Structure 1
Amino acid sequence: MAKNDPSTLSSVKNALQILKSFSMFKPTVKVSELAQSLGLAKSTVSRIMKTLASEGFVMKDPETNGYRLGLSVLTLGGLVTNNLEINKEAIPVLNDVVAKTKETAHLAILDGLDTIYIFKEECHHPVRILTHIGRKNPAYCTSSGKVMLAFHDGNLLEEVIQNGLQPFAKNTITNPDELRAAINKVKAQGYAVSTEELTEGTRSIAAPIRDYTGKVVSAINIVGPLQRLPDYKIPSMARILVDAAKEASERLGYDARFFR
């Protein structure tokens, strides 16, 4: 929607922007912080927070006078994830991936120019990579994102490039031509690898999941420290993920025979 679209309600938009300001890394926010970051008057933010609190979407912390998300958000989030068909069909596949790779596995979908984790199956290693359901990452520097960019029907890759390629770690691809080449490689091999592109010392590998129409709707990935995912393990891990993605796709009704 356009910024000044007369059909939108500014108060509702402001409330949604406030809710989107919370994150795993910033679970508590204050009215003054929100007002400054969103460019709103403190009185406006205060009224919205009181309204959200009355409906259980935020709760006030009496010790800090900050706000954190309330249980109403959890209820709605549970409804979303429980009714996603991809979750229902792919969870058993994720369990199998973790059993075979010994690494944490995720399901990811696109959300604009980012990827978002919609399900996670934790590994049993004492040393784990910090991830969580609902986490957003730039698509261009994650394996799941690169998989979905590679097989996207539209011009999403160019949108990502036009939006800017910011560096996050030492191997983040910030050159548009290099990113295009990397995405073409993903198309050719059928899976993606991200090595220290988002976070130092980590590697992720992902494969695409298709629905019954043949469209790539999700990605399945594993994430782990480089010590446990060295170069020589990439082919075998990728094969596990490609096979798992194929099984998840078939559970969603995909039949490769119709798309040859």
Structure 2
Amino acid sequence: MTTQPGTETAGRVIDVLLLFTDGPDELGVSQIARELGLSKAVVHRILQTLVARGMVALDQETRLYRLGPTAAALGARALRELDLRAVAADTLRRLHEQTRETVTLTALVPGGRAYIDQIVSTHEVKMTVDLGRRFPLHAGSSGKCILAFLPEERREQILTAGLTALTDSTRTDPDALRAELKEIRELGYASSQGERQADAGSVASPVFGLDGDVLGSVSVCGPRSRFTPQFVSSCAPGVVAAAREISAALGWTGDGPGTGASAAQASPHAPTEGSP
């Protein structure tokens, strides 16, 4: 089927905007053109349209573009309307009180996962995350525990597509990661030491929806030095309990990960990365 011109143009505009969710805060025309395989002239026209509507803003000194106020307003509205974030709020606060570390909520999004909420640690030295920025599923506990409960076919597509190293500790060997994902399904939680962010440690557990779909995850994260094996072991039950509580509030009635049915295999209804 031939792509209509209007559809192709809309796709290019969306691709330009998505670059700002995955990469640096500021991008130039040449970098965008290289990333998307477009001419500089096409990219410049798209950016001018986006600037006129407040979706991106141009720094006159650096000639670099960043997301604008209209994009921020759309993102804020999307967060307000996201049931997962609203349902999880009280549970996240309790988990934060228990651990005193930064608590995060992650959602499965097209092409990976994104943090949609956080409560920052009360410690002087703490970790924060970039809300709305997309990350791959194979790096870090929040992504791995989602990946573990995707349908096997989709999981294999991700494992065999090439696993990019975000740090020196990112696991990029598919066989090694398969073994770890199996363990995550049995335990009901994942842990990470410097896999997504070099100096960070974390422990996370998956969140499920009404039909058993894996929708996201809950994590506790902080400086790697504090996330000793002992702390992870003591923290994990609370993280798993929080994820189950949020899942139940979303209507999920299945067994908890690591307790039987859900550990045996991912839900056949679980969404692909392309699901909202």
Fold agreement, TM-score > 0.5 = yes
- Report deviation, 1:108: 0.9
Specify the SS of the correspondent of 2:211.
Answer: coil
Q: Does the CA-based 8 Å contact 1:113-1:160 persist in structure 2?
A: no
Q: In 2, distance between residues paired with 1:157 and 1:35?
A: 31
The answer to whether residue 156 in structure 2 is matched with residue 158 in structure 1 is: yes
Provide TM-score, normalisation by structure 1.
0.90
Change (3 A) 1:40 1:223: same
1:19 to 1:71, Cα distance in 2 relative to 1, 3 A: same
Instruction: Map 1:82-161 onto structure 2 (within 5 A).
Output: 82-161=80-159
1:81 matched residue in structure 2: 79
Aligned to 1:6: 3
Q: Retained in 1: the 8 A contact 2:147–2:181?
A: yes
Report the 3-state secondary structure (helix = DSSP H, G, I; strand = E; otherwise coil) of the residue aligned with 1:65.
coil
User: Secondary structure at 2:234's aligned position in 1?
Assistant: helix
| Identical amino acids, percent of aligned pairs | 31
**Which residue of structure 2 aligns with residue 202 of structure 1?**
200
2, 14, 17: which one aligns with 1:16: 14
The runs of at least 4 consecutive aligned structure 1 residues that moved more than 4 Å come to 257-260
Q: Distance in 1 between matches of 2:233 and 2:69?
A: 43
User: CA 1:105–1:257 in structure 2 vs 1: closer, same or farther (change >3 Å)?
Assistant: closer
**Structure 2 gap segments, 5+ residues each:** 262-276
CA distance in 1, matches of 2:2, 2:191: 40
- Partner of 2:270 in structure 1? none
For residues 22 and 155 of structure 2, the distance between their equivalents in structure 1, rounded to whole angstroms, comes to 27
AA in 2 matched with 1:161: L
The amino acid of 2:77's aligned partner reads L
> Residue deviations 1:23-76, cap 9 Å, x none?
586222222332233222222122111111111111222222322211110111
Query: For residues 249 and 56 of structure 1, do their structure 2 counterparts lie closer, same or farther at Cα, with a shift above 3 Å needed?
Result: same
Match of residue 63 from structure 1 = 61
8 Å CA contact 2:121–2:127 kept in 1: the answer is no
Conserved 8 A contact 1:22-1:69: yes
Q: Deviations over 1:69-89 (max 9, x none)?
A: 111101111121111111110
Secondary structure of 2:226's counterpart equals: coil
Give the partner amino acid of 1:56: G
Amino acid at match of 2:3: P
1:134-170 deviation line (CA, Å, top 9, x unaligned): 1222211211111111212352221111111222333
Residue of structure 2 equivalent to 1:189 = 187
Give the aligned residue type for 2:25.
P
User: How big is the shift at 1:117?
Assistant: 0.8
Please identify, of 7-16 and 175-184, the stretch whose mean Cα deviation from structure 2 is larger.
Answer: 7-16
CA distance in 2, matches of 1:210, 1:15: 32
Q: Give the RMSD, CA atoms, in angstroms.
A: 2.2
Query: Which residue identity does 2:11 align to in structure 1?
Result: K
Structure 1 pair 202–251 and aligned structure 2 pair: CA distance change class (3 A):
same
- In 1, the alpha carbon distance for the partners of 2:97 and 2:254 equals 26
Distance 1:183 1:257 in 2: 18
1:130 CA drift (Å) = 4.2
1:176 pairs with one of 174, 177, 195: 174
Relative distance call for 1:174 and 1:26 in structure 2 (3 A) is: closer
Is residue 146–residue 192 contact of structure 1 (8 Å, CA) maintained in 2? yes
| Matched residue count | 257
1:202 CA displacement: 1.9
Provide closer, same or farther for how the CA distance between residues 32 and 173 of structure 1 changes in structure 2, counting only shifts above 3 A: closer
Q: Structure 1 residues 17, 105: closer, same or farther in 2, change over 3 A?
A: same
CA separation of 1:60 and 1:226: change in aligned 2, threshold 3 A: closer
Give ranges in structure 1 of 5+ residues lacking alignment.
none
Q: Which amino acid aligns with 1:98?
A: H
More displaced stretch, 30-39 vs 79-88: 30-39
Per the alignment, in what secondary structure is the counterpart of residue 131 of structure 2?
A: coil
Change (3 A) 1:66 1:113: closer
2:248 equivalent in structure 1 = 250
Provide the C-alpha distance between the structure 2 equivalents of 1:119 and 1:50, rounded to a whole number of angstroms: 31
TM-score, length-normalised on structure 2?
0.85
Whether the 8 Å CA contact 1:120–1:132 is kept in 2: the answer is no
In the alignment, the residues of structure 1 paired with residue 25 and residue 111 of structure 2 have an alpha-carbon distance, to the nearest angstrom, of 23
Q: Which has the higher contact order (CA 8 A, sep 6+)?
A: 2
In 2, the alpha carbon distance for the partners of 1:46 and 1:224 equals 40
